[in-house]
Amino acid sequence: MEYVNFNIYERYPRFFNRSWEIKRKKRRGWLIHKIKNPETTGEHIFHLAILVWVLGKIKKINLERAIKIALIHDLCEIYAPDFTSYDTAALKEKGKITIKDILKIQPTPGRPTTTQRKKMEKIKQKLEMRAMKRLISKLPADLRKEINNLWLDYENTLTSEGRFVKQADKIINLFQGLEYWKKYGKIQHKLWIRRAKEVLDDPTLLEFVSALEKKFFRK
Amino acid sequence: MIEEKKFYLTKQGLEKIKKEHQGLKGLKFAKTKGEIPKIWHSEDINPEYLSFQEDLSFLETRIVELENILKNVELIKPPLKEKQNIINLGARVMVKVDGQTDEFEIVGSLEANPSLGKISNESPVGKALLGHRAGEEVIISSPIRTVYKIKKIKYRII
């Protein structure tokens, strides 16, 4: 049991100061695509939390848990790099990745290999775990444990809520990607739609994808 | 909330779930006695265990979830040899899509890991591939028309 002291609130400002940085951090995936004034991680989190709330209500999951997972799922990016799905390809290319390269990338295991993907996943997991520990280290023990558990649930898709948020995260990226495609045309929209049909399996979220398709591809 | 449905798992997936279930039950027992195994303080251990280190309610939630999976599990077995030319759960499928070769393993929702090529049998592509044979084409046409040409089907020997 944690020792309760009267200065417990003194532990929060540092956490909030650091967390607020996420409002300014521009998402790397969009920067790679050279999107002007791209979405920040904070904006992405807000958008995801709303989506999880609205669709999670239909899905009848534990909304409190799911929204909390959405709120903290990318907080580790304060101290860890914002990894993108293009990084594995970059790892293979061993060089700086350009927008031209990205537009050529196809999601095949042959490029990069499964071993390379696993290697990248391991690096990502290690750096993000360290970053999360650092961020929450000064928080009171109960809050620290809660954030850590919610984040690990998301990362390892341990519960229905963790699984739902993980897939919802992909949809919110697809949504934003389609918005940019419509506005700037720099996004491989066909590939993104194709990937969505491969990676998503939640019926509620798939219904939402159909609605997105109608919005963006209605003739 | 617990999902009431059938969970398809590979032999390895089922072993992993059983191992986690046993481990967590052991951890719960140790915790209720006030003992935390020192090994769980290491960063290198399975993060799934790490997450339950000090949170008894979450530990219990996960144990209930695992028990529900074990109660409703259906093991993915390779089909008979004469049916191994048809895509079923557990198949590793080589396809040609958009001019490139891609490979998927069709697994149950719990084991799906698209970044490693493991796609769920409940995903639109996974679902559409089921029941097809090498040489056939599977078309996903909403709203972008994508053709998956099936090149090869393999099953893992268990």
Give the tokens for residue A93: 């290319």
Residue A13 domain-assigned (yes or no) = yes
pLDDT at A174: 95
The C-alpha atoms of residue B109 and residue B122 are separated, in whole angstroms, by: 7
- Is residue B140 less than 8 Å (CB to CB) from chain A? yes
| Domain presence at residue A1 | no
The answer to whether residue B119 neighbours chain A at the CB level (below 8 Å) is: yes
Place of tokens 């251990």: B45
Band of the pLDDT at A2, cuts 50, 70, 90? low
How far is B131 from B150, CA to CA, in rounded Å? 11
What is the identity of the amino acid at B121?
A: N
Query: Which of B47, B109, B121 comes nearest A156 by C-beta?
Result: B47
Tens of pLDDT, residue by residue over A109-143, are 334 555 666 677 777 888 889 999 999 998 888 88
Q: Would you state the pLDDT for residue B121?
A: 96
Which pTM does this prediction carry? 0.84
> Domain containing A76: what range?
8-217
**Confidence class for position A163, pLDDT limits 50, 70, 90:** very high
Q: Are A128 and B121 in contact, with CB atoms under 8 Å apart?
A: no
Domains in chain B with CATH codes: 7-75 (1.10.287), 81-155 (3.10.50.30)
C-alpha closest to that of B103 among B29, B34, B153, B35: B153
Say if A3 falls within a structural domain.
no
The CATH number assigned to the domain holding A118 equals 1.10.3210.10
Average pLDDT for chain A: 84
Tell me the chain A residues in contact with residue B115 when contact means C-beta distances shorter than 8 Å: 85, 88, 117, 121
A182 vs B contacts (CB less than 8 Å): none
| pLDDT category of residue A108 using cuts at 50, 70 and 90 | very low
Which one-letter DSSP state was computed for residue B54? S
Per-residue pLDDT of chain B in tens (158 residues, 90 and over written 9): 566 689 999 999 999 999 999 988 888 888 777 665 554 444 444 555 555 555 677 788 889 889 999 999 999 999 998 899 999 999 999 999 888 888 899 999 999 988 778 999 999 999 999 999 999 999 998 788 899 999 999 997 66
Q: Between A and B, how many residue pairs show a Cβ–Cβ distance under 8 A?
A: 109
- Give CA–CA dist A202/B1, Å, rounded: 15
Q: B64-85, pLDDT tens digit by residue?
A: 889 999 999 999 999 998 899 9
pLDDT at B98: 83
Residue B7: which H helix or E strand, with range?
strand B7-9
Cβ burial of A42 (10 Å; 0-12, 13-18, 19+) is middle
For A93-109, b/e burial (b = at least 16 CB within 10 A) is: eeeebeeeebeebbbbb
Set of chain A residues whose Cβ sits within 8 Å of the Cβ of B42: none
Q: Report yes or no on A179 lying in a domain.
A: yes
Residues of A in contact with B50 (CB under 8 A): 152
Determine what percent of chain A is predicted with pLDDT higher than 90: 46
Give the nearest chain B residue to A150 (CA atoms): B51
Any A CB within 8 A of B42 CB: no
Q: How far is B67 from chain A (nearest CA, A)?
A: 12
